[in-house]
Amino acid sequence: MNATLNRWLTGQIGDLKSNNLYKEQVVLESPCNNRITIGGRTGIINLASNNYLGLANHPKLVAAACEAAQTWGAGAGAVRPITGTLKIHVDLEKQLAAFKHTEAALVFQSGFTSNAGVIPTITDANDVILTDELNHASIIDGVRLSKAQRKIYRHCDLGSLEDGLRASMAASKRLIITDGVFSMDGDIAPLPGIVQLAKQYDAAVMVDDAHGSGVMGGGRGTAYHFGVHKDVDIQLGTLSKAVGVMGGYIAGSRELIDWLTQRARPFLFSTAQPAPVVAAIMAAIDLMEHDSSLTDKLWENAAFWKSGLQGLGFDTGVSQTPITPVMIGEESMAMNFQKALLNEGVLALAIVYPTVAAGKARIRTMPSAMHSQEDLEDALASFKRAASSVGLF
């Protein structure tokens, strides 16, 4: 390896470790369930997963994936525009469009590539993008790929957004982009107000509903939750969180989807999803559409978990959703608390800079439909003991 590059890498990694910002990889030795195995230790309560509904291991999804592998094989064999579009891909996109109540949908390999695909493809140098300051990293990178001017508005601040809209009236197009549910704090974007401003200032609206899909609006997302889905031009969803599998998608007008198939680079230059993945997603969407019991259980568990943490004296921030941060502040304390929790039999990860602002470290907890009340009661007891062991209380 080049000596100069190696010295730089060694120095960067050393800096991360000395500043309590280095994160070890967590290796699961079991499926992603309510209780998992790590390092040979069984029964660890899993509060770190995005598997909100427990669908990642659902028997119907597993069976659908196995059947599709026998029918279609293990891989698609090409990018979508060549020979990688299988009929099952088209069937999934029709299902997603119907589920989201939009004209059409287009599936990408991930939520991250969905943002990288759509944002620079529908904007150019004559446009302005208005983006919430706490938007997900994939939105930030998608905006950076665009030649459009960007204006960052204060988090969920409609006044700040309106200032940006007023200042960008000379642009050819204006695109407002926001997360529906913000992944680190668990709060919800004020979509009715955003839509109203968009109409007033002739702007388009894009909502990244990665953490709203399967969770809000009966599973259809944040826009549907607020009843403004007909006024949102672009909806992004992931297929790897509540849906439990892998991928992302854009839902919107037929013209939008048609344009993306012609110009969105991740769609044009990445091999299509394997059929077993697609079949498992279709089984998950079918379950979400016809059975609300898992979503109901998720919200029941989230309410119990939040109440329990707050009763113990923990600060859960501004969360309005199952994403429940335990606010710590100092990075080294958050990392120590994560280790203490694991010693107590709970996996809940510290989130530190640059994922969140310096000095705003937290333990991010994710109750799910998988958890029993006993799981959550045991986890609360572990949080209390771990907090005492590190001097948090």
Q: What ranges do the domains of the chain cover?
A: 20-49+292-389, 57-290
Annotated catalytic residues are 183, 211, 241
pLDDT block averages, 10 residues each, the chain of length 393:
96 93 92 96 97 96 98 96 96 97 97 97 98 97 97 98 97 98 96 98 97 93 96 97 97 98 97 97 95 95 98 97 96 95 97 92 97 98 97 88
- Which CATH class for the 57-290 domain? alpha beta
What does DSSP assign to residue 232?
A: -
- At 1 the pLDDT is 87
E strand or H helix at 128 = strand 128-132
- At 302 the pLDDT is 97
- At 163 the pLDDT is 98
Tokens of 40: 């040979």
The DSSP bridge pattern shows strands 346-347 and 41-46 to be parallel
- At 20 the pLDDT is 85
- At 8 the pLDDT is 97
Give the pTM.
0.95
Cα separation, 274 vs 268, in Å, equals 16
CATH topology classification for 20-49+292-389: Aspartate Aminotransferase, domain 1 (3.90.1150)
- At 381 the pLDDT is 98
Q: Within its chain, how far is the Cα of 288 from the centroid?
A: 17
The DSSP bridge pattern shows strands 361-365 and 349-351 to be antiparallel
For residue 349, the cross-strand partners are: 364
- At 256 the pLDDT is 98
Query: Cα 286–74–280 angle (5° rounding)?
Result: 10
- At 23 the pLDDT is 87
